[in-house]
A and B are shown apart, each in its own frame.
Chain A
Amino acid sequence: MKILTLVRQVPDAEARIKITAQNVDLEGATLVIDGMDEYGVEEALRLRESGANVEEIVALAVGPKRVEDALRTALAMGVDRAIHVETDVKLDPIALSRVVAQVAQQEGVKLILVGGQEADWDSQALGAATAERLGWPQLTWTNELKLEGDTLSGRHDVDDGNESFRAGLPAVVTTQQGLNEPRYPTLPNIMKAKKKELRKDDLDRYGVQPAVRVINNEIQTRARLNRMIDGKDPQAAAEQLLDLLRNEAKVIA
């Protein structure tokens, strides 16, 4: 059984985001493999290590030249080989899912792991859209996953709590913090990763058109009052805060 794990490259959570000419400008920002996808890479490796029948783990990235770095990280973590669909075209998640689904079919994978929410798009759509294109079920926001034979089981978060589930392969699983603790690539593994296959692919053959146009980006910061209350006298501080909330902000009775 083959696993496809999708990796995206996003600015580090602490990176300063700036806007140039209505576009998000990543110049100078530290770019990392999306944390949510990293849980997926780790989980693929753990499924194999747990004795599940995993023949091969393939990482896929779609994006400009720089996303190679994210694929190298995945390879250094232990993924067997990588595919890079190189393009500067910005795809929305629904459009991107078309590429992911086609690669999954070409590669004959039975399980796709992808982050539950991308840190740049703030989108949760990619896993579900990919599953729909393939006609597969999906399990989102997993925080526990087991694979026995062709049966997945585990636990995932839902609207009002969490559920245990069971489903057969093939399937799409979305991953999140809490599922595992991703390993750090060791130096020998980083060296080994340089020799692993990283195949380049062309977006043109996937027949993908973004359906959503981005018109503008802006950083809207809400002006905050930043009023500090001296906390040395807890009683006085508490009373002052309540007074402000009741009479200035008028947000509590």
Chain B
Amino acid sequence: MILIVAEHAGGKLAKSTLEMVTAARGSGREGPVTVLVLGQGVADVANEAAKYADQVLVADLPQLAQYNAELWAAAVAQIAREGEAHTVLIGGSRSGREYAPRVAVKLEAPYLEDVIALSAHGQALQAQRYTYLARVTETVEAEAPVIVVTVKPGSFAPAAPAPAAGEQYDVELDLPAPRVEVTGKSVEKSSRVALTEADVIVTGGRGVGSPENFAAYVEGLADRLGAGVGATRAVVDAGWRPYAEQVGQTGKTVQPKVYIALGVSGAVQHLSGMGKSRYIVAINKDAEAPIFKVADYGIVGDVNQIVPALIEAAGK
């Protein structure tokens, strides 16, 4: 079987899970598409997942109330073994890429990380992925009884529901005791659309000038367009914006229909997180800024003058 580990948050199935279903269905690997739901109070998530999968395995347990790499790895490896999965798909989120290598080691499986394409070639599984700060596209291949894959968010279209809902089964797990104690958590909640799911993203860089300008212009434009808000590393390091908004090598990788970069210079590390956007718009005072090289539409000008005009015009 193909085992997909569902990603979900706030009681809802994440778009990335549906993207993995598409990856699984199109991979040419045989066997039922099986979604594993891990968590506590996940009945709704499991019901939702059942619309897309041939079968759903549910572990609704108090020990799984909070994500932990070792617990997740143990659970996924156990289910993969018991179900004789030949392919395990895990989301390419920060947490997914944190526990997937542990699953690969437990199963003595090859690991294809953060893939953007997946296809069977005979007994082998071929994948494409980015390397060198997303400047190179690598094609890799592995052949083994079981292969672990993480799927880059936004690389596959979300799946449509299957003709018939899949059966649900409760599973029992043999879980280790967690060894990392979480002593505090700061969740950066936003009322806006999640960056990895947004069709439009407005991002601000240092060139925006100040936290106040960021709120007025970057957030102002984002709200007018119903967009997600992104920030550069420099802006996050300066404390203007929360880490959750950071786009780039050490932040999120995004692939919206249009990415609007305001006062962003376009360092390689930033480009590696947004360079695959369908359209890129850049507004920057500095005509030499590298961001213009990757932009579809560019305006050389002061963000503080152009963006208010843009917000006004967009409201018309």
A interface list, Cβ under 8 A from B: 11, 13-14, 17, 19, 24, 92-94, 97, 116-117, 119-126, 128-129, 131-133, 137-141, 153, 157-168, 176-178, 211-220, 222, 224-232, 234-235, 237-239, 241-242, 244-245, 249, 251-252
B interface list, Cβ under 8 A from A: 9, 67, 69-70, 73, 93-95, 97-102, 104-106, 109-114, 126, 129-142, 144, 179-189, 199-200, 225, 233, 237, 242-244, 249-250, 257-258, 267-269, 272, 275-276, 278-281, 283, 292-302, 305-306, 308-310, 312-314
**Given A24-B131, A140-B98, A212-B111, A234:B180 Cβ within 8 A:** no
- Asked if B313 and A235 make an inter-chain contact with CB atoms under 8 angstroms apart, the answer reads yes
Q: Which residue of A lies closest to B284 (CB)?
A: A231
**CA distance in complex: A93, B225 (Å):** 41
| Chain A residues whose C-beta falls within 8 Å of the C-beta of B69 in the assembled complex | 128, 137-138, 140
**How many residue pairs, one in A and one in B, have C-beta atoms under 8 Å apart?**
254
- Asked if A216 and B257 make an inter-chain contact with CB atoms under 8 angstroms apart, the answer reads no
- Asked if B301 and A234 make an inter-chain contact with CB atoms under 8 angstroms apart, the answer reads yes
- Between B100, B106, B140, B312, the greatest number of chain A beta carbons within 10 A of the residue's beta carbon is seen for B140
- Asked if A119 and B297 make an inter-chain contact with CB atoms under 8 angstroms apart, the answer reads no
- Asked if A251 and B200 make an inter-chain contact with CB atoms under 8 angstroms apart, the answer reads yes
- Asked if B114 and A141 make an inter-chain contact with CB atoms under 8 angstroms apart, the answer reads no
**CA distance in complex: A139, B243 (Å):** 18
Q: Which residue of B lies closest to A215 (CB)?
A: B139
Q: Which residue of A lies closest to B108 (CB)?
A: A211
| Chain B residues whose C-beta falls within 8 Å of the C-beta of A229 in the assembled complex | 297-299
- Asked if B292 and A252 make an inter-chain contact with CB atoms under 8 angstroms apart, the answer reads no
**CA distance in complex: A60, B102 (Å):** 21
B137 contacts which of A126, A137, A219, A245 (Cβ < 8 Å)? A219
**Given A238-B310, A249-B258, A132:B73 Cβ within 8 A:** yes
B136 contacts which of A19, A178, A249, A251 (Cβ < 8 Å)? A19
A95 smallest CB distance to B (angstroms): 9
Q: Which residue of A lies closest to B314 (CB)?
A: A242
- Asked if B133 and A211 make an inter-chain contact with CB atoms under 8 angstroms apart, the answer reads no
**CA distance in complex: A164, B186 (Å):** 9
**CA distance in complex: A220, B133 (Å):** 13
A163 contacts which of B113, B182, B281, B298 (Cβ < 8 Å)? B182
B138 smallest CB distance to A (angstroms): 5
| Chain B residues whose C-beta falls within 8 Å of the C-beta of A125 in the assembled complex | 97, 100-101, 104, 111, 113
Q: Can you name 12 A-B pairs with beta carbons within 8 Å?
A: A17-B132, A93-B101, A159-B9, A159-B67, A160-B244, A162-B185, A163-B186, A213-B142, A222-B276, A228-B299, A245-B281, A252-B258
Q: Which residue of A lies closest to B227 (CB)?
A: A252
- Asked if B137 and A163 make an inter-chain contact with CB atoms under 8 angstroms apart, the answer reads no
Given A94-B110, A230-B299, 11 more pairs with CB closer than 8 A: A13-B268, A122-B272, A138-B102, A141-B250, A159-B9, A161-B243, A162-B186, A212-B110, A212-B112, A227-B296, A234-B306
B290 smallest CB distance to A (angstroms): 10
- Asked if B186 and A17 make an inter-chain contact with CB atoms under 8 angstroms apart, the answer reads no
- Asked if B199 and A251 make an inter-chain contact with CB atoms under 8 angstroms apart, the answer reads yes
**Given A13-B268, A213-B141, A220-B137, A241:B225 Cβ within 8 A:** no
**Given A19-B136, A213-B141, A249-B258, A161:B244 Cβ within 8 A:** yes
- Asked if B136 and A218 make an inter-chain contact with CB atoms under 8 angstroms apart, the answer reads yes
| Chain A residues whose C-beta falls within 8 Å of the C-beta of B131 in the assembled complex | 24, 120-122, 217
Q: Which residue of B lies closest to A16 (CB)?
A: B135
- Asked if B250 and A117 make an inter-chain contact with CB atoms under 8 angstroms apart, the answer reads yes
B213 smallest CB distance to A (angstroms): 15
**CA distance in complex: A129, B102 (Å):** 5
B199 smallest CB distance to A (angstroms): 7
A207 smallest CB distance to B (angstroms): 13
**Given A217-B131, A242-B310, A231:B200 Cβ within 8 A:** no
